[in-house]
Copies of this chain bind each other. A is one copy, B any other.
Amino acid sequence: MNAQSLNVLLYGALVYDLADILKCKLSVPVKLRRLKENAPADEIAAGLREADVVIAIKYRDMPWAPRLALLQIPGAGTDQINMAEIPPRTVICNAYGHDIAAAEYAVLGMLAWSHDFIEAHESFKAGSWRMSGRAGAPIHEELHGKTVGILGLGPIGLKTAQLAKAFGTTVIGCNRTPRAVRFIETVYPLDELKAFLGRCDFLVVSIALTPATTGLIDADAFAAMRPGAVLVNVARGPVIDEDALYQALHTRRIAGAVIDAWYDYPKPDDLTVPPSRFPFHQLPNVIMTPHSSIWTRGMVDRRWSEIAANLDAFANGMPLRNVVRAAAPAGA
């Protein structure tokens, strides 16, 4: 393949605005095209027909892409990729660089919850000293001394473990493949999930969404948790059963949650989509953010450096990073 003619399609609202950043980081010349999901169907069909490389977080029910040689996912999760419709000769890669941002968010969420930070700020800004210890306020918590459970020991989980440990917490983990990890006192296998959950003051969910993890945290799991426990979700919404989560929070089966990962997302032509069919925004024990945790300047810089390096390597016939599905051998 001639690098001069590499056609790269940025597909989807999530990557649409990042074309300039990618261009700055690329060494090889490419023809960049970008389309949102709500572009006319014939433009999308034409874009896919010509694309050597597609960069997309979601790839499902797409037009045929006869030249597609590399599908570069601009994120870690492959849960929105329908592998079956990607030509077998296409390499699929994902990308990282978000672990620092997501781990900072998880620690931020635990600290904010412990210190009643948002309520202290909002009430004081409104003129009240009621959250002040000197005004006889309820004494709040600190992160120090708590037990932090990390469900899923990928890059986000490991980084969160390291940061949480610095605060004098006990860090435990639960992972498909149990293994000794620095900073983590005990790593439970997934079939000991309930024993793990029963120890957590904070449960940080950082496990990949797969058919096996969909609904992993269900009503039974909440029943195994401590009444004072707080859940922090920086993974994908559906790892946690939507109904069970709402009920656990509404009935105070657990104390609260810090939620960044949701069940429904806005579309390019509809930014008003509610994040769930339940009114989480009405619950006083929920801190909620719009899947914004990882969107730091540092993440964009690290991730798109990785992606640009992969495109450069691809154009030059060099090995790719973060291959999640290799190309089938020629003739296969």
* B-binding residues in A (CB < 8 A): 13-14, 17, 100-101, 104-105, 107-108, 111-112, 114-118, 120-121, 123-137, 139-145, 162-163, 166-168, 265-266, 271-275, 281, 287-300
Contact = CB atoms under 8 A, between A and B. Distances in A.
B296 A141 contact: yes
Nearest to A108: B111
Contact of A139 (B112, B288, B290, B295): B295
User: Which 9 pairs of residues, A with B, have the shortest CB-CB distance?
Assistant: A133-B295, A166-B166, A132-B290, A142-B296, A108-B111, A120-B289, A124-B290, A125-B281, A142-B298
Contacts of A107: 111
A183 to B, nearest CB: 11
Given A104-B115, A140-B297, 10 more contacts: A14-B133, A100-B142, A100-B144, A101-B144, A104-B143, A117-B289, A124-B290, A132-B290, A132-B291, A142-B296
A270 to B, nearest CB: 10
B144 A289 contact: no
Given A100-B168, A289-B117, A298-B142, A266 B135 contact: yes
B114 A112 contact: no
Contacts of A136: 13, 17
Nearest to A297: B139
A124 B265 contact: no
Contacts of A117: 108, 112, 289
Q: How many copies does the complex hold?
A: 2
A121 B287 contact: yes
A33 B234 CA distance: 50
Given A289-B121, A291-B134, A139 B108 contact: no
Given A104-B111, A168-B100, A298-B142, A291 B125 contact: no
B129 A290 contact: yes
Contacts of A142: 100-101, 104, 296-299
A145 B132 CA distance: 33
Contacts of A14: 133-134
B125 A294 contact: no
Contacts of A143: 104
Given A112-B108, A271-B129, A281-B127, A290 B135 contact: yes
Given A139-B300, A289-B131, A292-B131, A115 B125 contact: no
A275 to B, nearest CB: 8
Nearest to A117: B108
A164 B308 CA distance: 31
Contacts of A116: 292
A288 B139 CA distance: 18
A145 B302 CA distance: 12
Contacts of A128: 271, 290
Contacts of A281: 124-127
Given A104-B115, A291-B134, A127 B272 contact: yes
A118 B115 contact: no
Nearest to A133: B295
B104 A108 contact: no
